[in-house]
């Protein structure tokens, strides 16, 4: 028998309220901040991600779903959300729009990884990007948006971690210091970190090995090696966050796994529980547009994992919104009544009422049991007797009371009853 591929999941009807809930609130928050929705293709040229995300990142090196299509083009299932948005910004000449351009998206993300709690090969992100303005007030706006999303969702006890990793001016010198610090202690490094020392020294800082954590503690801090412009940007951002009463924590060892980040990086973490630590991550990417062969254009944004948000909503007991509920089951006895019941159910739907037909050919008792299991407030019962008199039995399921109403008045009666 076929199963859903490893690391993917069906979202069953009973799960949908959570998805609707998160989408609804995310959409509303995005709207209140003036963000417009952008949908991009589920696959892109592989090169977009190799150039944008970075050749030596795990995402590109070992997690991308890439393939050659029948025409010989090299494409990849989208492994992250920002590069496609930037591609679309460039492709559609959005620099001619008022800056910054504010965009949001919901999309599936694909990474070939060993699945575990809160981690999938196909997951979904809500993301926002503000492109075309380098001012730290935009950083604050993005972080505020993320923070407001979480609080509007009803999630509690979250932590906001922020850091600045500098820019092209100050990072090279910082990385040299970092390398020197670790090179002097190379014999104590874990094997992964020995590789990082050469290839991606920034990542030395967030190694989880105990010995490496210790070294990271004494390592030079990004925050203390910023050039004047980055320092000014950083301090203004923190000032704005304080003004917004957003409780941040500066985390000197916070770096991000994608190459394109510069200056501001941040994450939002749920309270400690087993499983994945961050439900939202983002930062500034002022160099990305140039990597994609566009004009220098600053940008900042974040991605938030839908599955992880929903996982935490469940852990915290936040109830999702009710969907438009079913109002009635239409019960019918006999061929003639069935024919009329089909029309009656249709009339109810035309009146905006959720209604389903009880399974045909079953006893009244069985159909009522069905109505009971559907958890509807009313059952409309139509048999030969009612049909001949032009009425329908209108039964209140919770009170176990019923009365007759003229067939043609059924939609109105049900509407009134549901108010």
Partner RNA sequence: GUGGGCGUGGCCAAGCUAGGUUUAAGGCGCCAGGUUGUGGCCCUGGAGAUCGAGGGUUCAAAUCCCUCCGCUCACCCCA
Q: Which residues bind RNA (CB under 7 A)?
A: 3, 5-7, 57-59, 63, 80, 109, 111, 113-120, 123, 125, 192, 203, 206-209, 256-258, 267, 274-281, 303-305, 307-308, 333, 359, 362-366, 368-373, 381, 383-386, 393, 395, 397-400, 402
Whether the CB-CB separation of 42 and 107 falls below 8 Å is answered with yes
Q: By C-alpha distance, which of 64, 40, 39 is closest to 50? A: 64
With 0-12 / 13-18 / 19 or more C-beta atoms within 10 angstroms meaning exposed / middle / buried, residue 114 is exposed
Least distance CB 355 / RNA (angstroms):
16
Q: Edge to edge, what strands does the sheet with 280-284 contain?
A: 36-37, 101-110, 122-131, 299-305, 280-284, 262-269, 159-164, 248-250
CA angle, 135 then 200 then 271, to 5°: 65
Nearer to RNA, 235 or 366 (CB): 366
Q: By C-alpha distance, which of 404, 380, 393, 401 is closest to 331? A: 380
Nearer to RNA, 92 or 211 (CB): 211
Cα separation values, 294 from 40, 168, 207, 301, Å:
18, 17, 34, 18
Nearer to RNA, 191 or 350 (CB): 191
Least distance CB 8 / RNA (angstroms):
8
Least distance CB 21 / RNA (angstroms):
17
Least distance CB 418 / RNA (angstroms):
15
CA angle, 360 then 362 then 364, to 5°: 115
Nearer to RNA, 100 or 118 (CB): 118
Nearer to RNA, 350 or 398 (CB): 398
Least distance CB 180 / RNA (angstroms):
21
What's phi and psi for 385, nearest 5 deg?
-60, -50
Least distance CB 419 / RNA (angstroms):
20
Nearer to RNA, 65 or 370 (CB): 370
Least distance CB 170 / RNA (angstroms):
21
Least distance CB 399 / RNA (angstroms):
7
Q: Edge to edge, what strands does the sheet with 326-332 contain?
A: 354-357, 326-332, 378-382, 391-396, 401-406
Nearer to RNA, 70 or 365 (CB): 365
Nearer to RNA, 151 or 232 (CB): 151
Q: By C-alpha distance, which of 31, 36, 153 is closest to 105? A: 36
With 0-12 / 13-18 / 19 or more C-beta atoms within 10 angstroms meaning exposed / middle / buried, residue 218 is exposed
Q: Residue 300 and residue 151: Cα distance in Å, rounded? A: 21
């Amino acid at each position: 028998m076929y199963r859903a591929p490893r690391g993917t999941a069906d979202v069953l009807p009973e799960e949908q309220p959570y998805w609707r809930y998160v989408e609804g609130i995310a959409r509303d928050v995005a709207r209140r901040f003036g963000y417009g929705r952008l949908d991009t293709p589920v696959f892109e040229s592989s090169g977009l991600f190799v150039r944008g995300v970075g050749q030596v990142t795990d995402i590109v090196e070992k997690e991308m779903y890439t393939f050659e299509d029948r025409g010989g083009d090299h494409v990849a299932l989208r492994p992250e959300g920002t590069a496609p948005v930037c591609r679309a910004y460039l492709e559609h000449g959005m620099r001619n729009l008022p800056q910054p351009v504010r965009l949001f998206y919901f999309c599936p993300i694909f990474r070939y990884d060993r699945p575990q709690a809160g981690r999938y090969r196909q997951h979904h992100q809500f993301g926002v990007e503000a492109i075309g303005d380098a001012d730290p007030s935009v950083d604050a706006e993005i972080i505020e948006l993320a923070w407001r999303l979480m609080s509007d969702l009803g999630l509690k006890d979250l932590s906001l971690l922020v850091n600045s990793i500098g820019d092209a001016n100050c990072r090279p010198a910082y990385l040299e210091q970092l390398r020197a610090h670790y090179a002097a202690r190379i014999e104590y490094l874990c094997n992964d970190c020995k590789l990082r020392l050469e290839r991606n020294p920034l990542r030395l800082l967030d190694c989880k090995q105990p010995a490496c954590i210790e070294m990271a503690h004494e390592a030079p801090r990004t925050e203390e090696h910023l050039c004047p412009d980055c320092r000014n940007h950083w301090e203004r951002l923190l000032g704005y966050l304080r003004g917004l009463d957003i409780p941040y924590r500066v985390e000197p060892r916070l770096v991000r796994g994608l190459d394109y980040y510069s200056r501001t990086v941040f994450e939002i973490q749920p309270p400690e529980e087993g499983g994945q630590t961050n439900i939202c991550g983002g930062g500034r990417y002022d160099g990305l547009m140039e990597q994609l062969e566009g004009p220098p254009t600053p940008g900042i944004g974040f991605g938030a994992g839908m599955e992880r948000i929903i996982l935490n909503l469940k852990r915290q007991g936040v109830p999702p919104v009710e969907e438009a509920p079913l109002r009635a089951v239409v019960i019918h006895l006999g061929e003639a009544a069935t024919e009329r019941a089909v029309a009656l159910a249709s009339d109810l739907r035309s009146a905006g009422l959720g209604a389903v037909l009880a399974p045909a050919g079953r006893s009244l008792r069985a159909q009522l049991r069905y109505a009971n299991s559907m958890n509807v407030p009313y059952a409309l019962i139509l048999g030969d007797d009612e049909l001949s008199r032009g009425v329908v039995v209108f039964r209140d399921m919770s009170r176990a009371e019923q009365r007759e109403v003229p067939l043609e008045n059924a939609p109105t009666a049900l509407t009134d009853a549901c108010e």
